Chain A
Amino acid sequence: MIQTLFGSVEQEPSLLERLKSGVAKTRAGLVSRLEETLAGRKEIDADLLDELEYTLISADIGVRTTTEILERIRQRVDRHLVGDAAELRGLIEEHLLEILEASDHAPPLVKEPPAVVLVVGVNGAGKTTTIGKLAQRYKAEGRGVLLCAADTFRAAAIDQLEVWGQRTGVEVIRQKPGADPSAVLFDALHSARARKVDYVIVDTAGRLQTKANLMAELEKMRRTAGRVVPGAPHEVLLVLDAVTGQNGLEQARKFTESSGVTGLVLAKLDGTAKGGIVVAIARELNLPIRYIGIGEQVGDLLPFDAAKYIQSIFEP
Chain B
Amino acid sequence: MFENLSDKLQRIFKNLRGEGRLSAANMEAALREIRVALLEADVNFRVVKQLIENVKVKAMGEEVLAALSPTQQVVKIVHEELIKILGSHQSKLRFSNDPPSVMLIVGLQGSGKTTSTGKLARWLSRNSHAPMMVSVDVYRPAAREQLRVVAKEVGLPVYTGTEQETRPLDLARSARREAANSGRDVLLVDTAGRLHIDEDLMVELQELKEQFSPVEILFVADAMTGQDAVKSAEEFHKRLNITGVILTKMDGDARGGAALSIRHVTGQPLKFVGIGEKLDALEPFHPDRAASRILGMGDMLSFIEKAEEAIDKKQAVEMQRKLIENEFTLEDFRDQIRQLRKLGPLESMLSMMPKVGMLKDLKNVKVDEQEMTRVVAIIDSMTPRERANHLIINGQRRRRIAKGSGTTVQEVNQLLKQYGEARKVMKSLSQGMMGKKLGKFKLPFM
Interface residues in chain A, defined as those with a beta carbon under 8 Å from any beta carbon in chain B: 23, 25-27, 54, 57-60, 62-63, 122-126, 153-157, 159-160, 162-164, 177, 208-213, 241-251, 268, 270-274, 276-277, 296
Other CB < 8 Å A-B pairs besides A25-B197, A244-B225, 12 of them?
A57-B39, A155-B150, A160-B141, A162-B141, A212-B367, A241-B222, A243-B228, A245-B42, A245-B257, A248-B226, A249-B1, A296-B139
- Report the 4 A-B pairs with minimum CB-CB distance, sorted nearest first: A245-B226, A124-B110, A163-B141, A245-B42
For residue A273, which residues in chain B have a CB less than 8 angstroms away from its CB?
226-228, 231
A-contact 0/1 string along B95-119, CB 8 Å cutoff = 0000000000000111110100000
Which of A123, A250, A276 counts the most B-chain CB atoms under 10 A from its CB?
A: A123
Within 8 A of A (CB), among B184-202: 195-199
For residue B231, which residues in chain A have a CB less than 8 angstroms away from its CB?
272-273
Within 8 A of A (CB), among B325-372: 347-348, 351, 366-367, 369
User: A153 to B251, alpha carbons, bound, how many Å?
Assistant: 17
User: A18 to B143, alpha carbons, bound, how many Å?
Assistant: 27
Contacting pair A272 B197 (CB below 8 A): yes
A247 in contact with B253 given A59-B227, A160-B140, A163-B142 (CB within 8 Å): yes
For residue A244, which residues in chain B have a CB less than 8 angstroms away from its CB?
224-226
Contacting pair A124 B111 (CB below 8 A): yes
For residue A163, which residues in chain B have a CB less than 8 angstroms away from its CB?
141-142
A-contact 0/1 string along B22-43, CB 8 Å cutoff = 0000000000000010011110
Cβ-neighbour of B110 out of A125, A162, A250 (below 8 A): A125
User: A203 to B186, alpha carbons, bound, how many Å?
Assistant: 35
User: A17 to B401, alpha carbons, bound, how many Å?
Assistant: 69
User: A229 to B114, alpha carbons, bound, how many Å?
Assistant: 37
Contacting pair B254 A245 (CB below 8 A): yes
Closest CB in chain B relative to A251 CB, distance in Å? 8
Contacting pair A60 B252 (CB below 8 A): no
Closest CB in chain A relative to B147 CB, distance in Å? 8
A-contact 0/1 string along B152-173, CB 8 Å cutoff = 0100000000000000000000
Closest CB in chain A relative to B195 CB, distance in Å? 4
B145 within 8 A of A: yes
In the assembled complex, 28 residue pairs joining A and B whose CB atoms fall closer than 8 Å, in A order, are A26-B197, A27-B197, A60-B226, A60-B228, A63-B36, A122-B224, A123-B112, A153-B277, A155-B146, A155-B149, A156-B142, A156-B143, A157-B146, A160-B146, A177-B149, A211-B347, A212-B366, A241-B222, A241-B224, A243-B226, A246-B41, A247-B255, A248-B226, A251-B224, A268-B195, A271-B197, A272-B197, A273-B228
A243 in contact with B222 given A57-B45, A156-B145 (CB within 8 Å): yes
A209 in contact with B252 given A123-B112, A243-B229 (CB within 8 Å): yes
B56 within 8 A of A: no
User: A294 to B231, alpha carbons, bound, how many Å?
Assistant: 18
Contacting pair A268 B110 (CB below 8 A): yes
Closest CB in chain A relative to B28 CB, distance in Å? 15
B232 within 8 A of A: yes
For residue B147, which residues in chain A have a CB less than 8 angstroms away from its CB?
155
For residue B253, which residues in chain A have a CB less than 8 angstroms away from its CB?
208-210, 247, 250
User: A249 to B254, alpha carbons, bound, how many Å?
Assistant: 10
For residue B224, which residues in chain A have a CB less than 8 angstroms away from its CB?
122, 241, 244-245, 247-248, 251
User: A246 to B366, alpha carbons, bound, how many Å?
Assistant: 24
User: A276 to B42, alpha carbons, bound, how many Å?
Assistant: 12
User: A293 to B143, alpha carbons, bound, how many Å?
Assistant: 20
For residue A248, which residues in chain B have a CB less than 8 angstroms away from its CB?
224, 226
B258 within 8 A of A: yes
Cβ-neighbour of B347 out of A23, A153, A212 (below 8 A): A212
Contacting pair B45 A247 (CB below 8 A): no
Q: How many residues of B contact A (CB 8 A)?
A: 54
User: What residue in chain A is nearest B202 (Cβ atoms)?
Assistant: A26
For residue A122, which residues in chain B have a CB less than 8 angstroms away from its CB?
224, 249, 252
Contacting pair B145 A247 (CB below 8 A): no
**Prevailing SS type, chain B contact patch:** loop
User: What residue in chain A is nearest B139 (Cβ atoms)?
Assistant: A296
Closest CB in chain A relative to B134 CB, distance in Å? 15
User: What residue in chain A is nearest B43 (Cβ atoms)?
Assistant: A245
For residue B227, which residues in chain A have a CB less than 8 angstroms away from its CB?
57-60, 245, 273
For residue A23, which residues in chain B have a CB less than 8 angstroms away from its CB?
197
A155 in contact with B225 given A160-B142, A245-B254, A271-B232 (CB within 8 Å): no
Closest CB in chain A relative to B232 CB, distance in Å? 7
User: A209 to B249, alpha carbons, bound, how many Å?
Assistant: 11
User: A153 to B276, alpha carbons, bound, how many Å?
Assistant: 14
A-contact 0/1 string along B272-301, CB 8 Å cutoff = 000001000000000000000000000000
User: A134 to B212, alpha carbons, bound, how many Å?
Assistant: 39
For residue A63, which residues in chain B have a CB less than 8 angstroms away from its CB?
36, 39-40
User: A124 to B196, alpha carbons, bound, how many Å?
Assistant: 17
Which of B41, B148, B253, B254 counts the most A-chain CB atoms under 10 A from its CB?
A: B254
For residue B255, which residues in chain A have a CB less than 8 angstroms away from its CB?
246-247
User: A268 to B196, alpha carbons, bound, how many Å?
Assistant: 12
A124 in contact with B347 given A57-B39, A164-B141 (CB within 8 Å): no
Contacting pair B199 A26 (CB below 8 A): yes
User: What residue in chain B is nearest A155 (Cβ atoms)?
Assistant: B149
For residue A62, which residues in chain B have a CB less than 8 angstroms away from its CB?
39-40
For residue A210, which residues in chain B have a CB less than 8 angstroms away from its CB?
251-253, 347-348, 351
User: A124 to B382, alpha carbons, bound, how many Å?
Assistant: 45
For residue B277, which residues in chain A have a CB less than 8 angstroms away from its CB?
123, 153
User: A58 to B112, alpha carbons, bound, how many Å?
Assistant: 24
Contacting pair A159 B141 (CB below 8 A): yes
For residue A277, which residues in chain B have a CB less than 8 angstroms away from its CB?
226
User: A54 to B249, alpha carbons, bound, how many Å?
Assistant: 27
User: What residue in chain A is nearest B145 (Cβ atoms)?
Assistant: A156
Closest CB in chain B relative to A188 CB, distance in Å? 19
User: What residue in chain B is nearest A272 (Cβ atoms)?
Assistant: B231
User: A160 to B139, alpha carbons, bound, how many Å?
Assistant: 11
